[in-house]
Structure 1
Amino acid sequence: MRPDDFWGALTAAERDALRAVARPRTFAARTPLCLQGDESDHIIVIESGWVKVASSTEDGTAVVLAVRGPGDLVCESAVLGARHRSATITALSAVRARVVPAARFTAFLDANPRVWRLVSGTFVRRLDDADQRARAHVAVRGDQRLALLLAHLAELSARHAPPAPDGGVDIAPPLSQQELGSWMDASRETVARGLNRLRQEGLVRTGWRRITVVDLPGLIEFAHRPADEEE
């Protein structure tokens, strides 16, 4: 796991202490790890696999907010804020994790104050990431919003697996076109058209629930291309 994730940032002693109060658990794909509105009774550290974070609107529409992967801490904000879950976290693939009851996790943090700072840093980074993506999505076309999202997912995926010999980066979280559209506030049809455009530009390859970013710098350049260059 990478050193900039929660688990990777812990010392060996901190990991041992956290393992001592955790229980291992596996989740099959499409299984919820925690549900929006539930009581906050545990946190989870992902060891392997990917999950999506989604929040349901008043009309029942599920909006994808983020994905988390190996080494990430999830279900923690409600526990530390003593409130109900604000989102549902669902396994996108088979997930192996460590589950820590809320009281044991807060006791672990009290005994390891350095980790409190790590958790606070995680909150701040996630808020910054969400804010940057929201601002970047203003006044850009659907295919550019898709390019921004795929660039983000490619950079995330590359932290866990090296690029292919040809430089291609497989998007690791197995997101459907519907889920990508939900994340970028667009329809499935917009995503399909965007993928077609990115394929024509030679920036991505696609297959069944599989997207490979062929040219990451080119994808980022496309995402920020001024509108007058499209004319």
Structure 2
Amino acid sequence: MIEHEAPPLLLTEAETSLIRGAGRRRSWRGGEVLFAEGDIPEGVVLIEAGVVKAASDARNGYTSLLAVRGPGELVGELACIDGRPRSATVIAMREVRGTAVAADRFLRLLAENGPLALSVTRVVSVRLRQANRLRALQGALPTTARVARVLLDLSLGHGTGDGRSQTDRIVLVSQAELAGAAGTSRESVVRALRLLQESRLITTSRGRIVVHDPEGIDRWSGR
């Protein structure tokens, strides 16, 4: 059995009901921005359908893919809690539906509901641990292993099928974003993807990668 990133820590149904009751339903088209890096935090979103990505752009043009979030997960909560500008841009990777809650109402919910506040704190803690683990691995593994590991986690956690094969999983990620997530250069990612493609584990096209053999990718990942 493939070992991969642990599933996201989700809120309980009662906690998500509290958030739904405090907000309003919204939808975003694929490619639409939910939050922009540097903006003042105005609220959070509970994702109910679809997938979003959080990315940060450096001044030199380097793009870091920080996270991918899906149904049942909160986005934007950290900036609302500490009141600092958004640290990343959150973009819908395909059509997304969710509940948007204004920052003041979200903070009031946390202040008035201890179990919800504790659950949100746990979610933030788990995400920080995952980020620290990823940074540690980036220094310990060769480039191809890092790229394979990111692809495996994205495909198993948030990939979509294309109907052609039960094992095929589509990952909507650019080479620049993959480089940011793996902590390497775009040129190194191109070389790693070429190796994986020559091994018939993946196929690539603009803005997406199809993972054909998760078990094979796992063998490349150095786990």
1:211 to 199, 209, 213: 209
Question: Is 1:40 aligned to residue 41 of structure 2?
Answer: yes
The equivalences for 1:158-173 within 5 A come to 167-172=166-171
Q: TM-score, normalised by structure 1?
A: 0.81
Q: Using the alignment, how far apart are the partners of 1:142 and 1:5 within structure 2?
A: 25
What is the letter of the counterpart of residue 177 of structure 1?
Answer: Q
The total of aligned residue pairs comes to: 217
In structure 2, the residue matched to 1:228 is none
Report the CA distance between 1:208 and its aligned residue: 5.0
Give the direction of change, closer, same or farther, for the CA distance of 1:113–1:164 in structure 2 (3 Å limit): farther
Q: Using the alignment, how far apart are the partners of 1:29 and 1:43 within structure 2?
A: 19
Report the CA distance between 1:162 and its aligned residue: 7.9
- Aligned-pair identity in percent equals 32
In structure 1, the residue matched to 2:3 is none
- SS of the equivalent of 2:139 reads coil
Report the CA distance between 1:102 and its aligned residue: 1.0
The equivalences for 1:72-111 within 5 A come to 72-111=73-112
Backbone CA RMSD of aligned residues: 2.6
Q: Using the alignment, how far apart are the partners of 2:130 and 2:42 within structure 1?
A: 26
Residues 27-36 or 68-77, more deviating: 27-36
- SS of the equivalent of 2:97 reads strand
Report the CA distance between 1:72 and its aligned residue: 1.3
What is the letter of the counterpart of residue 23 of structure 1?
Answer: R
- SS of the equivalent of 2:209 reads strand
1:197 to 195, 204, 219: 195
Report the CA distance between 1:170 and its aligned residue: 0.8
Residues 202-211 or 62-71, more deviating: 202-211
In structure 1, the residue matched to 2:11 is 9
8 Å contact 1:167–1:215 — kept in the other structure? no
Q: Using the alignment, how far apart are the partners of 1:39 and 1:202 within structure 2?
A: 45
Q: Using the alignment, how far apart are the partners of 1:224 and 1:48 within structure 2?
A: 32
- Which consecutive unaligned segments of at least 5 residues does structure 2 have? 1-6
Report the CA distance between 1:30 and its aligned residue: 2.3
Q: Using the alignment, how far apart are the partners of 1:15 and 1:151 within structure 2?
A: 29
Q: Deviations over 1:67-102 (max 9, x none)?
A: 112221001101111222122212222221210001
Report the CA distance between 1:22 and its aligned residue: 0.7
Q: Deviations over 1:18-46 (max 9, x none)?
A: 22211111122222211222212201111
Structure number with larger C-alpha Rg: 1
8 Å contact 2:56–2:65 — kept in the other structure? yes
What is the letter of the counterpart of residue 64 of structure 2?
Answer: V
Q: Using the alignment, how far apart are the partners of 1:97 and 1:108 within structure 2?
A: 18
Give the direction of change, closer, same or farther, for the CA distance of 1:58–1:166 in structure 2 (3 Å limit): closer
- SS of the equivalent of 1:137 reads helix
Q: Using the alignment, how far apart are the partners of 1:34 and 1:210 within structure 2?
A: 22
8 Å contact 1:25–1:97 — kept in the other structure? yes
Residues 94-103 or 47-56, more deviating: 47-56
Q: Using the alignment, how far apart are the partners of 1:163 and 1:213 within structure 2?
A: 11
